[in-house]
Structure 1
Amino acid sequence: MLSPQDQLTELVRSLETQQHVFTTDPLLVTEKMQAEEGKPLQKLHRRASRIDSNGNLARVLGKIDGRIKGIMVIMSIVWCVSGFLGLFTLLQSNVVNFFYVLVCLLGFHTIMLGGWLVMTLINQGRQSPSWFANFVSPSYLIRGKDDVTKAAVDLYERQLQHSGMRWYLGRFSHQLWLATLTGMMFAIIFLLIVRQYSFSWESTLLSDQALIGLTNVLGWLPSMVGFDVPDSAAIVQSRLVTEAMPLSVARQWASLLIGSLLMYGIVPRAIAWAFCALMFRRKKMRLDIKLPYYQKILNFWQRQVVDADDFKEAPAPVAPKATVRAGKKLVALLEYPSEQDNWWQVGLDAPDNDIDDIENFGIVDDRDDMDRLTTYLEQHPVQVLLGIHSQALPGRGTLRKLDRIANAAKHGLIVQLLNNESTDTDTIPTPTTNANDPKNPQAVRYQQWQTALAARKIGLIANS
């Protein structure tokens, strides 16, 4: 069974899908709870309780649950009384055949308990018996043609079809057996208090020694918890007794009878009942909040988190600022020529009288240019200033050339992005230009070079 809160929540879902008119508008309750804190299941429970503001839904569910539990209590009382009366009828004679009474007490019970254990081990299916669902169907317990009653009855019937109900049935079955055995125990204790019995045994095939061994085996477990067991002399003396026996011997047999009923009847059945109760709790039906109905409500409550203006855009990579070293420099153009002869003077901030310290390599484009440049750099420890035209793209081939030059330059490599002086529109943008603007391809290309240089930690000369 679902918990009472889950039942109410599920009943609200069932009625709302049927366009039922509630005392409190579900949409209004849902909107008011949007800002409340709590786990999803807890908020769904509170929502159902507020929708059922007059308690009508909870009363119908409580009425069905109370009648089901009432029937179980009544049946348990009837079984207890039947056990009491059955044993009361069996012990009318003053001389009692011990083993005959014991078989009547525990024989059928033991067979049924063993059968239940075997079926539990064999039956690995999860389906509960259909006859049980029909037997305790709420439609027999409550009458009503209104929407609430019909939906509540349907909810209970769906719960009775759940796989965990097989353990609920087992627990109820063991409960009835415990009631019967308890009634028998009350009857034995009552009769032993008000009457004096003599116990005997009879057998055509078994000898005295066989009965002594059987009694000792039977009495082993009761003796572990303090019950008396007849000794060998008392067992032999009790054969074919037809009249009153010594009170001490009768008390030993009476103690063994009570101990056997307790240890071989009530205790195993109580263990089986506890096992079914534990399994039923583990297999208990849970509210499925993954249903579209619940997901829609939960998504609505989470909108305030999704719509919150807490997005922080990751900053675009920026190349480090170039550091011009003292000493001789080598300047070169990557793949494209420059329309300005001394393009490097602005980047190096070099006056005309320092031109002797600057070696102009020219354009680095093909493989021969790269081989010639790397050979020069291996022989001369210089800092390289590489001019990159605005039309150059940071493709894989271009970046491989850049990496090769950076590895060969012993005093480092710095880069200057050059303007295209041929037109007014092809101007290298400043770092503040939006690089994601599709209408400004130059800005996009500038940011691509910023990203490539930042990844390689190559300094970039800022544009003037």
Structure 2
Amino acid sequence: MLSPQDQLTELVRTLETEQHVFATDPLLVTEKLQVEEGTVLQKLHRRASRIDSNGALAGVLGKIEGRLKGIMVIMSVIWCVSGFFGLFTLLQANVVNFFYVLVCLLGFHTIMLVGWLVMTLINQSKHSSNWFASFVSPSYLIRGKDDVTQAAVSLYEQQLQHSGMRWYLGRFSHQLWLATLTGMLLAIIFLLIVRQYSFSWESTLLSDQALITLTRVLGWLPSMVGFDVPNDAAIVQSRLVTDTLPLAIARQWAGLLIGSLLMYGIVPRALAWAFCALMFRSKKMRLDIKIAYYQKIINFWQRQVIDVDDFVAVAAPIAPKAVVSSAAKLVALLEYPTDNPLWWQAGLNYYDGPIEAVEDFGIIDDREDLARLTTHLDQHPLQVLLGIHDKALPDRGALRKLDQIAAHAQHGVIVQLLNNQTLETNADASRSTFNNVRYQQWQTALAARKIGLVAG
């Protein structure tokens, strides 16, 4: 899977292409990062983190990741407990057939491990992650119809379909087998501590010598790490035992049982788990910065002035000066309140003649407010004075509201830029109280729409 930073960066890309409104304006963040140091990837990560300034996107990604890991932990615990109680049930008799118990412990496990190894060697499990992707689809783990949740789920599903996920699936499968074998090992140790067992073997076809040879081969690897292995006399003595064996011989068989479970079960499975983990890391997804979205951002950051002497500065767009008419006025605030209920008086002071009336419409925030205002403007010939707080961004939503108000105001719209603590309305004061970058953004937007700005 992608790293958490890459996931956040990809999620920002997906949402921005779908015109999502972020906590922080992506354009402002991109412009500020142009002069900062760092590699392209570092700056892209930094950009995504700043755009997600309230942590909402990272929170959704973290929730999905946490629930995926939680499922894996719960399944591992269940497999461990099932292995423990499975072996606990198997070892209820005091006289235990050694080879029967060993086959029950390692028979199916060995077949599955060899099968996985063969499939890996012939490379037939490329698409084995498909069923895993459907089994643990993020859409089952997190509910939500908002665009952030839907985009995050889609991002995770794309990662689960990646070819490198075969190693992720293999690692998870080996993890479950390790949990099962660990549960069996704990059960064996516990039962051998609290109970005294006798071990035997029986066979119709195999002779004593054949079982001696088999036991030597089986015990070679456990004996290399210090586990006891029954000698020839102990093997012959253990055939068809129906009562208690000498304690020393029973301990040798117990040591061979534990050693076989470790060396032929847990150790090979742990090596397979480590191999899958290394392969998954080597095949890990990387952020593709060659796609057009990232290339556009990178090209903007790398844009430089080659010859300063030939550079001609382009004047920033300036909104036309507001013309206050004698028509009746409607004053309203766009999205944000202000501390002074008479904020509009400073704007109307630019007109020396009499004004018919002033109607305070309040705050225009949601669709209902906008619909109510446009209906009112259609029925009454008014000039609208719109107050815009310094917190307001000239994003798509705000500009869409401004365009609709301008389309319905029969005597036009004028704009007054506000600050929560000050009420200066001339151009210099607006620059001092309004953020310079934000001020110029509103100037550009108003100039494009030919909407007047209250200025001295």
The TM-score by the shorter chain falls in which range?
0.5 to 0.7
Q: How many residues align?
A: 309
Q: In the alignment, what sits opposite 2:11?
A: 11
What's the secondary structure of 1:199's corresponding residue?
strand
Q: In the alignment, what sits opposite 1:309?
A: 307
Q: In the alignment, what sits opposite 2:219?
A: 219
Deviation, structure 1 residue 129: 3.1
Deviation, structure 1 residue 308: 3.3
Deviation, structure 1 residue 126: 3.9
Q: In the alignment, what sits opposite 1:35?
A: 35
CA-based RMSD of the aligned residues comes to 1.1
Separation in structure 2 between the aligned mates of residue 126 and residue 134 of structure 1, nearest angstrom: 16
Q: Note the residue ranges of structure 2 that are not aligned, 5 or more in a row.
A: 310-456
Separation in structure 2 between the aligned mates of residue 266 and residue 127 of structure 1, nearest angstrom: 27
**Segment of structure 1 superposing worse, 294-303 or 121-130:** 121-130
Runs of 4+ in structure 1 off by over 6 angstroms are none
1:253 matches 2:250: no
Deviation, structure 1 residue 278: 0.3
Q: In the alignment, what sits opposite 1:277?
A: 277
Q: In the alignment, what sits opposite 1:456?
A: none
Does structure 2 conserve the Cα–Cα contact (< 8 Å) formed by 1:94 and 1:196?
yes
What's the secondary structure of 1:261's corresponding residue?
helix
Deviation, structure 1 residue 110: 0.1
What's the secondary structure of 1:93's corresponding residue?
coil
1:20 matches 2:2: no
Q: In the alignment, what sits opposite 1:324?
A: none
Q: In the alignment, what sits opposite 1:162?
A: 162
- 1:54-76 per-position Cα deviation (integer Å, ceiling 9, x unaligned): 00000000000000000000000
- 1:123-156 per-position Cα deviation (integer Å, ceiling 9, x unaligned): 2564343211100100000000001000000000
Does structure 2 conserve the Cα–Cα contact (< 8 Å) formed by 1:167 and 1:279?
yes
- Within 5 Å, which residues of 2 pair with 1:102-121? 102-121=102-121
One-letter code of the match for 2:306? A
What's the secondary structure of 2:218's corresponding residue?
helix
- Within 5 Å, which residues of 2 pair with 1:79-98? 79-98=79-98
Does structure 2 conserve the Cα–Cα contact (< 8 Å) formed by 1:128 and 1:162?
no
One-letter code of the match for 1:199? F
One-letter code of the match for 2:32? K
Deviation, structure 1 residue 168: 0.3
- 1:336-358 per-position Cα deviation (integer Å, ceiling 9, x unaligned): xxxxxxxxxxxxxxxxxxxxxxx
One-letter code of the match for 1:122? I
Q: In the alignment, what sits opposite 2:439?
A: none
What's the secondary structure of 1:96's corresponding residue?
strand
Q: In the alignment, what sits opposite 1:323?
A: none
1:64 matches 2:64: yes
Q: In the alignment, what sits opposite 2:318?
A: none
Separation in structure 2 between the aligned mates of residue 56 and residue 308 of structure 1, nearest angstrom: 40
Does structure 1 conserve the Cα–Cα contact (< 8 Å) formed by 2:129 and 2:160?
no
Separation in structure 2 between the aligned mates of residue 142 and residue 24 of structure 1, nearest angstrom: 25
Separation in structure 1 between the aligned mates of residue 128 and residue 233 of structure 2, nearest angstrom: 53
- 1:180-235 per-position Cα deviation (integer Å, ceiling 9, x unaligned): 00000000000000000000000001110110000000000000000000000000
Does structure 2 conserve the Cα–Cα contact (< 8 Å) formed by 1:15 and 1:148?
yes
Separation in structure 1 between the aligned mates of residue 126 and residue 142 of structure 2, nearest angstrom: 28
Separation in structure 1 between the aligned mates of residue 275 and residue 307 of structure 2, nearest angstrom: 53
CA gap of 1:259–1:310, structure 2 versus 1, over 3 A, is farther
Does structure 2 conserve the Cα–Cα contact (< 8 Å) formed by 1:98 and 1:200?
yes
1:139 matches 2:174: no
One-letter code of the match for 2:156? Y
One-letter code of the match for 1:145? K
TM-score by length of 2: 0.67
TM-score by length of 1: 0.66
- Within 5 Å, which residues of 2 pair with 1:373-392? none
1:188 matches 2:224: no
Deviation, structure 1 residue 237: 0.4
Deviation, structure 1 residue 239: 0.3
CA gap of 1:200–1:136, structure 2 versus 1, over 3 A, is same
What's the secondary structure of 2:96's corresponding residue?
strand
One-letter code of the match for 2:174? H
Does structure 2 conserve the Cα–Cα contact (< 8 Å) formed by 1:128 and 1:164?
no
Does structure 2 conserve the Cα–Cα contact (< 8 Å) formed by 1:23 and 1:53?
yes
Separation in structure 2 between the aligned mates of residue 39 and residue 117 of structure 1, nearest angstrom: 41
Q: In the alignment, what sits opposite 1:295?
A: 295
Separation in structure 2 between the aligned mates of residue 12 and residue 187 of structure 1, nearest angstrom: 49
CA gap of 1:193–1:277, structure 2 versus 1, over 3 A, is same
Separation in structure 2 between the aligned mates of residue 310 and residue 286 of structure 1, nearest angstrom: 38
Separation in structure 1 between the aligned mates of residue 189 and residue 103 of structure 2, nearest angstrom: 18
One-letter code of the match for 1:285? M
Separation in structure 2 between the aligned mates of residue 4 and residue 308 of structure 1, nearest angstrom: 37
Identity %: 85
One-letter code of the match for 1:177? W
One-letter code of the match for 2:56? N
One-letter code of the match for 2:245? M
1:208 matches 2:208: yes
Q: In the alignment, what sits opposite 1:230?
A: 230
- 1:355-402 per-position Cα deviation (integer Å, ceiling 9, x unaligned): xxxxxxxxxxxxxxxxxxxxxxxxxxxxxxxxxxxxxxxxxxxxxxxx
Does structure 2 conserve the Cα–Cα contact (< 8 Å) formed by 1:128 and 1:161?
no
